[in-house]
A and B are shown apart, each in its own frame.
Chain A
Amino acid sequence: MVLLQVIINGLLLGGFYALIGIGFSLVWGVTNIINLAHGAIALLGAYLTYYLFVSIQLDPFLSIPLSFVSIFLFGYMLQRFVMNLVVKAQIFILLILTFGLEIFLVNFMTTFFSADFRSVTPSYAGESLVIGEIVIPYIRLAVFFVCVIFAIAMGLFLDKTWTGKAIKATSLDIEAAMMSGINPAKIYAITFGLGSAIAGVSGTLLTLTQAFSPSIAGGLTLRAFIVSILGGLGRIEGALLGGLILGVVETLSSYLIGESYKNAIAFGLMVLVLVLKPSGLMGRKYYAEVKH
């Protein structure tokens, strides 16, 4: 019974990991940028939610659209005016650029929002759904469903709208996309904006489930990273699967082996997948091959 509870906890956590992984995987798959500042951008959304909650008591779930829009604009500008300038450079140049950005953002947040751990606790935080011996907090369930809804919406957006199709086209073959009248600079900016916006939303949801401070940015990025690798790049279903696997593996390994080894196991799993099937569990040909 305890094992079932652990697995359910893992799946609920996995929903959150999937959401943070989707944005990362999308940006990586399309623009070939590994955004090491992803976790820091997610925390921008978290702080936005926190300050809205503290100052005007806005419910965290209601601030989702706000963090989506504002972080989208931030990401769009960033890609349009900074990243696009170096996007064709060698990969480690892009890695360092985003790492520089991460250092900047984390220190910015530490200076202006302080290094204290914060959390948001709305009035309904303590209630849970009890089925037999299984306890599921309503908040975690709601967070899980918001994550899944966002994942599905993202998938539909990529499959059904013109912009979504243009994003996919650019990711598959940039020259052919240009020939059919797509402006890659704009598509890259939109992609990065969307990836950041989803990160911002996951930051908002983060405030509800755990305490956060600027120092956890790196950990979030690494989770996003593992999720993308496990599932396969640039694919929503892949990120969803990868997130759930990571969530279950993390909680199971903390339960069976010990809390302190969970990162090592998650990374071991990632390196194993990388060596055995570098395109990820659901990866397809042409998606996110090494382009340089």
Chain B
Amino acid sequence: MKDKKIILFFLFLAVLIFLPYIVSGYWLRVLTQTFLFASIATGSNIIIGFTGYPAFGNIAFFGVGAYVTGVMTTTYNVPFLVTLPFCALSGFVLAGILGIPILRLKGHYFAIATVGIMETIKEIVDNMVETTGGGMGLTLPIMVGEPEFIYKYFYYVMMLCMLLSVLICYIISRIKIGYALRAIRVDEDAASVMGINTPLYKTLAWAVSAALVGIAGGIYAYWLSYIDPHTVFGGTYPVKMFAMILLGGATTVTGPLIGAFILEIISELVWSKFIAIHGMVLGLLIICIILFIPKGIFETFKGGFSFRKLLNNLRENSL
């Protein structure tokens, strides 16, 4: 079983590596977008799924990363790839500092505090007009080269970012910190009594998660070459990210990645058919995922697909 999974993963990887030579530019773009979401979802899953802290505003660090790359490439003329470690660092430090007071909160209160942080950072960026361009947005230098090459370049960079997120998630799930986080998710008080330094591990988990999301933000900024506060802080990103995590299964390493692929491809197919009502369909889709497969498709359909399982899921959490 285990070997089969690993072989499947590498097969999937091989397909992704050779895909740019087969598919059109449009699908290349869709896939790059999917990698972006997979990176965000996998990175955020460290705090959301592993640790059980619903960081609804985790996208704040995506915006921070995007602006770090944006400001560094425009104001200081730093090469794009050099900015990425700074994206990770800024996310790591910011989450580390904010985590100390905020991670004392639980449940709803934590979720809301992260949304508050997201909105506050957005407002601050919105007001730093000289460096960030404020609400007008920031135009980044466009990469030099053939369009074909640029498409492939971002495809591979984004894919590497996604693989890095998955790798770090995998490592974390294997070492001591992963077990500590799992203990915190199940019962924080008990974990604390067992001698786990819960504030340290929680903050560390959030910081790593923020760093990964920050890198994705940096790549996104250079890829689109235009960012503004309202798209990178918020929008539909948080809810899409959560839906992906849930669809794939929150406690697994590759779940969010698979969720991202399923949701993005569906979303893309729907988009082309119902442009006018796309938002409504997305809303309904999310509601249906929550109602019928809140545990993720793998957990739900372990022994094969059946409608009875969907109904059982529905019954489990009802009043």
For residues 271 through 319 of chain B, which have their beta carbon under 8 Å from a beta carbon of chain A?
276-280, 282-287, 290-291, 294, 314, 316-319
B286 touches A84 (CB 8 A): no
| Complexed CA–CA distance, A291 and B279 (Å) | 32
B318 touches A86 (CB 8 A): yes
- Contact surface of B with A, Cβ cutoff 8 Å: 48, 54, 56, 101-102, 104-109, 111-113, 115-117, 119-120, 123-124, 126-127, 236, 238-239, 242-243, 246, 276-280, 282-287, 290-291, 294, 314, 316-319
B284 touches A104 (CB 8 A): yes
A85 touches B291 (CB 8 A): yes
A100 touches B283 (CB 8 A): yes
Give the 10 A-B CB pairs with smallest separation, nearest first: A104-B283, A107-B279, A100-B286, A92-B54, A264-B123, A103-B283, A290-B107, A89-B317, A267-B116, A99-B239
Given contacts A92-B111, A264-B127, 12 further A-B pairs with CB under 8 A are A28-B108, A85-B318, A88-B316, A88-B317, A95-B108, A97-B286, A104-B279, A107-B280, A274-B109, A274-B113, A275-B101, A278-B109
Q: Residue A182 at the B interface, CB < 8 A?
A: no
> Contacts of B278 on A, CB cut-off 8 Å?
107
Shortest B317–chain A CB gap in Å is 4
B120 touches A107 (CB 8 A): no
Evaluate whether A185 and B117 lie within 8 angstroms (CB atoms) in the complex, with A96-B243, A100-B284, A104-B287 already known. no
Shortest B143–chain A CB gap in Å is 33
Shortest B15–chain A CB gap in Å is 30
| Complexed CA–CA distance, A184 and B316 (Å) | 16
> Contacts of A103 on B, CB cut-off 8 Å?
236, 239, 279-280, 282-283, 286
Contacts A/B (CB < 8 Å), 27 sampled:
A28-B108, A34-B112, A85-B291, A86-B291, A86-B294, A86-B317, A88-B316, A89-B317, A90-B294, A92-B56, A96-B246, A97-B290, A99-B238, A100-B239, A103-B282, A103-B286, A104-B280, A222-B115, A225-B112, A260-B123, A263-B123, A267-B116, A270-B112, A271-B116, A274-B112, A290-B108, A292-B107
For residues 254 through 285 of chain A, which have their beta carbon under 8 Å from a beta carbon of chain B?
260-261, 263-264, 267-268, 270-271, 274-275, 278
| Complexed CA–CA distance, A222 and B120 (Å) | 12
B287 touches A91 (CB 8 A): no
* Binary interface encoding of chain A residues 96-115 relative to chain B, with 1 for a CB under 8 A from any of its CBs, else 0: 11011111111110110000
> Contacts of B283 on A, CB cut-off 8 Å?
100-105, 107
